[in-house]
Amino acid sequence: MFKGAIVAIVTPFKNDKVDEDRLRELVEFQIDNGINGIVPCGTTGESPTLDNDEHVQVIQICVETAKKRVPIIAGTGSNSTTEAIALTRHAAELGADGALVVTPYYNKPTQKGLYHHFKAVADNSEIPIILYNIEGRTARNIETPTVAKLAQDCPNIIGVKEASGSLEQAKAVHEACGKDFVILSGDDALTLPMMELGGAGVVSVVANIVPADVVKMINLYNGGDKEGAQMIDAKLAPLVASMFLETNPIPVKTAMSLLEMCSADLRLPLCEMDEENLEKLKTAMSNYGLLKGQPA
């Protein structure tokens, strides 16, 4: 169920509230373009600045709009184990198909602490759990032996979103956990290299604006046309790089505003792009053919 092109969807705001109508439109846009799954309330969805009611609101809208046409993998992680359990339970009650549970951040647990944290969430969950390993934001890497022990001891921990930036780690996890353990790239730039090592797909930022291309790239790869997939990957590369000119999701939300998909509104401490980076983003979008009057 959890494979292919999965979008880490933004949370659109209007007057500092969740823009429900836009969110529904974005979910429909993704499904119309063949996306294989949707992650609400992840990093790209600005989960740290959503309150509990908004967290529920966003997941519920995605579930209700998708109507089981694609799986909804709700971001339910926290640096509090109790809160992560509560969020995961609530996501299950809302009808989410799975949960993406990020490494606890700021409190810097040991590997033993990470094991007990994720096991507690899994033991109290009725839906599949995907670990989210992103040391750059959490200050802790989920080391391969820890992932392997969790996969062995918790049947509903079925995969990991690997955003460590290390292909060696992805390879080690695949070897330690076996072919049925789902490894999803957490970095658009590493999607194909990670799939070469046994990855099942990507949780993508750039798919917010070009979902059809990300879907096509992965479908070509899975169909045996690696050269065709690499051509799309090469075309995507400058656009992907522009998505990380500043902290995600600042650039992707700005790009979506330029495409009139949603507002560029962000919540502090995130803020609008610097002018120099905005011009670089516009150039990348124009070169890709996304802005009006520009060739693809």
Catalytic residues: 132, 161
Residue 140 near residue 109, CB atoms below 8 Å = yes
Q: Is the dihedral of CA 114, 120, 125, 128 positive or negative?
A: positive
The crossing angle, in degrees rounded to 10, of helices 144-153 and 167-177 is 30
How many helices (H) and strands (E) would you count in the chain? 12, 10
CB atoms within 10 A of CB 234: 10
Task: Give the single-character DSSP code of 106.
Answer: S
DSSP-derived secondary structure for 124-152: T-SS-EEEEE-HHHHS----HHHHHHHHH
Q: Is the dihedral of CA 72, 78, 83, 85 positive or negative?
A: positive
